[in-house]
């Protein structure tokens, strides 16, 4: 006879697995959602603790806020209470907003001048900017470029930039390829070469 053919031999194992599954479901249900508190109550609570009117435990109970979050926000003394409440969750941006806006403008400028950048070019430019400005980053040093996650978030923050796949040349586009439409490209190329030679 096998182990499980005997009466009640498989039940303890099955019972343990069920208990673990129920415990995991219970934990999932009990997990609080992040940043679901009222910002106005958080501001008032931070002010109360900073003015030493109440301690963090009592304030968290009175204002119905998570105590650890409240304590972490109170420790950020250089920020005002309204700035502290507006902080975003997750990892911080590597490049500042101004630097990313400059990079987005550069991408659009290169597109207007008929030198569209590839995704690898944009990731390389971001890495070079971070290294040049001595910004702490987690970019790949061996490849010398930012990662795909950074690029995805960059494109999400700048919807005016889009990634396009090249299409085959249709008959209408071939007919539209006239000297008048190509002239701006060669004009820019001549001025650029003239500028580099001096």
| Eight-class DSSP state of 102 | H
pLDDT digits (tens, 9 = 90+) for 116-147: 788 889 999 999 988 988 888 888 888 899 88
Label residue 1 by pLDDT band (50, 70, 90).
very low
Which residues in the chain are classed under CATH 1.10.10? Answer: 39-77
Query: Which residues are 145's β-sheet partners?
Result: 140
Q: Report pLDDT for 17.
A: 65
Query: Residue 186 above 50 pLDDT?
Result: yes
Topology of the domain covering 39-77: Arc Repressor Mutant, subunit A (1.10.10)
Question: Measuring CA to CA, which residue among 19, 66, 2, 10 is closest to residue 38?
Answer: 66
pTM: 0.50
Tell me which of 36-40, 107-111, 154-158 is least confident: 36-40
Better-scored residue on pLDDT, 24 or 80: 80
CA angle 131, 136, 141 (to 5 degrees): 55
Q: Is the pLDDT of residue 76 over 70?
A: yes
Mean pLDDT of 54-82: 82
- Is the model more confident about 79 or about 4? 79
Confidence of residue 101 (pLDDT cuts 50, 70, 90): very high
Cβ distance 65 to 59 under 8 Å? yes
- Identify the bridge partners of residue 140 per DSSP, sorted by sequence position: 145
Whether residue 197 has pLDDT greater than 50: no
Residue 71 CB partners (closer than 8 Å, separation 6+): 56
Q: Are 160 and 153 in contact (CB under 8 A)?
A: no
The pLDDT of residue 15: 64
Q: Residue 169's pLDDT band (boundaries 50, 70, 90)?
A: low
CB 127 within 8 A of CB 73: no
Percent of the chain beyond pLDDT 90? 11
Q: How many CB atoms within 10 Å of residue 176? A: 11
């Amino acid at each position: 006879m096998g182990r499980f053919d005997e009466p009640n031999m498989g039940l303890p194992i099955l019972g343990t697995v069920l208990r673990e599954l129920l415990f995991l479901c219970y934990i999932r249900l009990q997990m609080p959602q992040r940043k679901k508190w009222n910002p106005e109550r958080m501001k008032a609570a931070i002010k109360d603790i900073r003015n030493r009117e109440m301690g963090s435990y009592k304030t968290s109970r009175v204002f119905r806020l998570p105590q650890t979050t409240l304590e972490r926000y109170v420790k950020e003394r250089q920020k005002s209470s309204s700035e502290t409440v507006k902080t975003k969750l997750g990892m911080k941006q590597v490049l500042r907003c101004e630097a990313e806006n400059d990079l987005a403008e550069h991408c659009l400028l290169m597109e207007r001048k008929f030198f569209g950048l590839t995704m690898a070019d944009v990731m390389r430019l971001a890495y070079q900017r971070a290294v040049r400005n001595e910004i702490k980053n987690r970019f790949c040093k061996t490849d010398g470029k930012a990662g795909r996650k950074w690029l995805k978030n960059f494109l999400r923050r700048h919807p005016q930039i889009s990634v396009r796949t090249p299409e085959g040349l249709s008959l209408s586009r071939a007919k539209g390829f006239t000297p008048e439409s190509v002239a701006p490209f060669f004009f820019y190329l001549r001025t650029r070469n003239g500028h580099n030679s001096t």
